[in-house]
């Protein structure tokens, strides 16, 4: 399977990104380095990270091990990370990027994203809270002032491409209005229960690739409720898995690829990591693509509820 060639999506600037990558959000400590090593052995060359996941040092260990073994060279890999909400103030952007590079043991990132359009109060806490222990503290930093600092990271050779994550259409447009280097992608939650067709269509017209996170419905998310619908168990998805003799996860990953999206399923289990990669030997027919499209229920899994009330919250006023 390691010889499988993953197709690339092409950014507007001509650079390319593998359409399938390994997600690392919510991956338990002590398991991430091995997951990265397993993924590289299987054939993954795209790893998606973020400062807030608090596991980038382990991701870096996995990458470094495979480079040292000669399995891959640095230039074979596409590594993404994200600027966290507490570092939106312009003077903090470069330092945050260098911290991530240090944790990942890398000289440059292939892609660096503004993780959310909302800024949190600057300081050591990732989720700063007021004295009541309930209210989150926000920064007045505006992401349009953050963006020029992202561009400087490209100028400095620290980052090859820059982009956005969880931005709505108006917010993407605000960045485009000030951009010297246009964002390459908008990474958003995307799966059959939440297609986000407005933002994906807008990004396509503006030359931004959509990267889909939580493509499997994130069944292991920390705040899952007992009565929440489970996308992997959806009757339509299960029937399609039976039809194509594939797993439900493979159907959902293949769906995103056929929509033209980059997709980053997360797993730390070697068998699932391998299975999630095995999505290039079949194709969903047009009727089955429509069946999955009909599952839309605006079922947002990652609402960033801690930032409700923030003037730049992307979902409260616009989907």
How much is the average pLDDT of 109-127? 97
30 alpha carbon, distance to own chain's centre? 21
Rounded Cα distance between 311 and 288, Å, is 40
CA atoms within 13 A on the CB side of 258: 22
Rounded Cα distance between 186 and 53, Å, is 19
pLDDT band at 3 (very low <50, low <70, confident <90, very high): low
φ, ψ at 220 (rounded to 5°) = -100, 15
Q: What is the pLDDT of residues 197-224, one digit of tens each?
A: 999 999 999 999 999 999 999 877 877 7
> Three-class SS of residue 300?
coil
φ, ψ at 82 (rounded to 5°) = -140, 140
9 is a domain residue: no
| 107 pLDDT above the threshold of 90 | yes
272 is a domain residue: yes
Q: Could you say which of 44, 53, 112, 255 is catalytic?
A: 53
Q: Please answer whether residues 39 and 32 qualify as being in contact, where contact means their C-beta atoms are separated by less than 8 angstroms.
A: no
44 is a domain residue: yes
Q: What is the pLDDT of residues 24-57, one digit of tens each?
A: 998 888 899 999 999 999 999 999 999 999 999 9
Rounded Cα distance between 267 and 279, Å, is 15
Rounded Cα distance between 23 and 15, Å, is 21
Residues in the chain: 319
Q: What integer pLDDT is reported at residue 68 of this predicted model?
A: 98
Kindly provide the b/e burial profile for residues 252-269, where b requires at least 16 CB atoms within 10 angstroms of the residue's own CB: bbbbbbbbebbbbbbbbe
pLDDT band at 80 (very low <50, low <70, confident <90, very high): very high
CA atoms within 13 A on the CB side of 244: 24
φ, ψ at 79 (rounded to 5°) = -115, 125
Which pTM does this prediction carry? Answer: 0.96
10 is a domain residue: no
Residue 312 annotated as lining a ligand binding site:
no
Q: What integer pLDDT is reported at residue 265 of this predicted model?
A: 96
How much is the average pLDDT of 218-244? 89
pLDDT band at 319 (very low <50, low <70, confident <90, very high): very low
C-alpha distances in Å from residue 10, one per residue of 7, 15, 119, 153, 174 = 10, 6, 30, 21, 23
Q: What integer pLDDT is reported at residue 224 of this predicted model?
A: 78
Rounded Cα distance between 273 and 237, Å, is 19
315 is a domain residue: no
CATH number at residue 129: 3.20.20.100
Q: What integer pLDDT is reported at residue 318 of this predicted model?
A: 62
Rounded Cα distance between 200 and 209, Å, is 8
pLDDT band at 316 (very low <50, low <70, confident <90, very high): confident
As beta bridge partners, residue 14 has: none
Q: Please answer whether residues 131 and 81 qualify as being in contact, where contact means their C-beta atoms are separated by less than 8 angstroms.
A: no
88 is a domain residue: yes
Whether 53 sits among the annotated catalytic residues: the reply is yes
316 alpha carbon, distance to own chain's centre? 21
Q: Please answer whether residues 23 and 265 qualify as being in contact, where contact means their C-beta atoms are separated by less than 8 angstroms.
A: yes
Rounded Cα distance between 224 and 268, Å, is 19
Q: In the chain, how many domains are there?
A: 1
Enclosing domain of residue 156: 15-307
Q: What integer pLDDT is reported at residue 2 of this predicted model?
A: 45
| 168 pLDDT above the threshold of 80 | yes
3 is a domain residue: no
The mean predicted confidence, pLDDT, of the chain is 95
How much is the average pLDDT of 177-189? 98
Rounded Cα distance between 137 and 90, Å, is 18
* Residue-wise DSSP of 221-234: -TT--TTS--GGG-
| Higher per-residue confidence, 98 vs 317 | 98
57 is a domain residue: yes
Question: How many Cβ atoms are within 10 Å of 244's Cβ, its own excluded?
Answer: 17
Tokens of 259: 């929509």
| Higher per-residue confidence, 35 vs 226 | 35
Task: Tell me which H or E stretch contains 100.
Answer: helix 93-104
């Amino acid at each position: 399977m390691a010889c499988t060639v993953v197709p690339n999506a092409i950014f507007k600037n001509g650079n390319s990104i593998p359409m399938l990558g390994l997600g690392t959000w919510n991956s338990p400590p002590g398991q991430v380095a091995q997951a990265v090593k397993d993924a590289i052995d299987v054939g993954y060359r795209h790893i998606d990270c973020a400062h807030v996941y608090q596991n980038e040092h382990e991701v870096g260990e996995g990458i470094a091990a495979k480079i040292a073994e000669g399995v891959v060279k640095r230039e074979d890999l596409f590594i993404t990370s994200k600027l966290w909400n507490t570092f939106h103030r312009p003077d903090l952007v470069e330092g945050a990027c260098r911290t991530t590079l240090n944790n990942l043991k890398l000289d440059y990132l292939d892609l660096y994203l503004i993780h959310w359009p909302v800024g949190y109060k600057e300081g050591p806490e990732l989720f700063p809270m007021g004295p009541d222990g309930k209210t989150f503290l926000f920064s007045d930093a505006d992401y349009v002032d953050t963006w020029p600092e992202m561009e400087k990271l490209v100028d400095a050779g620290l980052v090859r491409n820059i982009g956005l994550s969880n931005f709505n259409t108006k917010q993407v447009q605000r960045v485009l209005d000030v951009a010297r280097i246009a964002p390459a992608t908008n990474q958003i939650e995307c799966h059959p229960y939440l297609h986000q067709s407005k933002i994906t269509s807008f990004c396509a017209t503006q030359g931004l690739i959509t990267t889909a996170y939580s493509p499997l419905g994130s069944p292991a998310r920390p705040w899952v409720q007992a009565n929440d619908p489970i996308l992997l168990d959806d009757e339509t998805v299960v029937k399609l898995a039976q039809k194509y003799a594939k797993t439900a996860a493979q159907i959902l990953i293949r769906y995103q690829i056929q929509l033209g999206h980059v997709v980053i399923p997360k797993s730390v289990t070697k068998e699932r990591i391998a299975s999630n990669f095995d999505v290039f030997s079949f194709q969903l027919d047009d009727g089955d693509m429509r069946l999955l499209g009909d599952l839309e229920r605006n079922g947002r899994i990652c609402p960033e509820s801690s930032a409700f009330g923030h003037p730049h919250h992307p979902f409260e006023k616009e989907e």
